[in-house]
């Protein structure tokens, strides 16, 4: 399966997907890394790995034209599944419908808890004993699609949001490649 990864930042989950895709038995390859932020650190890394990249800022373009360009780049690359990896922009209902059941996302909480932002601070404020991450199908509802896989990490005394984020991120890097492999072979 040819996978397109959308990023907005450092792209550590994208790097984990790329690393896993290089194993002979991996059922997906990363056909394109695309970003709404032309200066995203992850894009430079992807280029250094010889991966195809596409960068376009929606600023001044408008969302429909921006999304049409992203859609075109994904289709030109022969992408069958889109993996969001720290992509910080909401996809329109039209884009989601065009890629129905073919977009997945990784979210840093144990969904359905803590949809949206500031997940780690919210888990700490609630006094949770565990945190974690979820890979889910993307639908029109923010962080609301079917959960495909989850990983838990302990919340330790003295954790702040950064410490918890770091522990969860390590779990994300293991969970996302494994869950994506299961998803593309479902």
Residues near ligand GRF, by CB under 6 A: 7, 9-13, 85-86, 106-108, 133, 169, 172
Tokens of 86: 């720290």
1 assigned binding-site residue:
no
Tell me how far CA of residue 96 lies from CA of 28, 123, 138, in angstroms: 21, 29, 7
- Alpha-carbon gap, residue 84 to 105, rounded angstroms: 5
Work out how close the CB of 134 gets to ligand GRF at its nearest, in angstroms, rounded to a whole number. 9
Determine contact, residues 110/130, Cβ cutoff 8 Å: yes
Q: Which is nearer to ligand GRF, 74 or 106 (CB)?
A: 106
Q: Which of 54, 41, 55 is nearest to 13 (CA)?
A: 41
74 assigned binding-site residue:
no
Work out how close the CB of 81 gets to ligand GRF at its nearest, in angstroms, rounded to a whole number. 17
Active site residue 107: yes
144 assigned binding-site residue:
no
- What distance lies between CA 13 and its chain's CA centroid? 7
Work out how close the CB of 128 gets to ligand GRF at its nearest, in angstroms, rounded to a whole number. 17
> Which residues are documented as binding site for (6R)-10-formyltetrahydrofolate?
63, 88-91, 105
């Amino acid at each position: 399966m040819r996978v397109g990864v959308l990023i907005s930042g450092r792209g550590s989950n994208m790097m984990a997907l790329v690393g896993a895709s290089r194993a002979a038995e991996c059922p997906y390859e990363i056909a394109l890394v695309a970003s709404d932020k032309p200066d995203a650190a992850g894009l430079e890394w992807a280029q250094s790995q010889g991966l195809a990249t596409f960068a376009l800022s929606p600023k001044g373009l408008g969302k429909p034209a921006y999304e049409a360009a992203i859609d075109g780049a994904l289709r030109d690359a022969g992408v069958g599944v889109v993996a969001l990896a720290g992509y910080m922009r909401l996809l329109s209902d039209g884009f989601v419908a065009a890629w129905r059941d073919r977009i997945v996302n990784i979210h840093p909480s144990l969904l359905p808890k803590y949809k949206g932002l500031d997940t780690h601070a919210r888990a700490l404020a609630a006094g949770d004993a565990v945190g974690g991450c979820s890979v889910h199908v993307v639908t029109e509802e923010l962080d609301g699609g079917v959960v495909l896989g989850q990983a838990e990490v302990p919340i330790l005394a003295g954790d702040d949001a950064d410490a918890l984020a770091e522990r969860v991120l390590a779990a994300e890097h293991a969970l996302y490649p494994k869950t994506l492999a299961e998803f593309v072979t479902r």
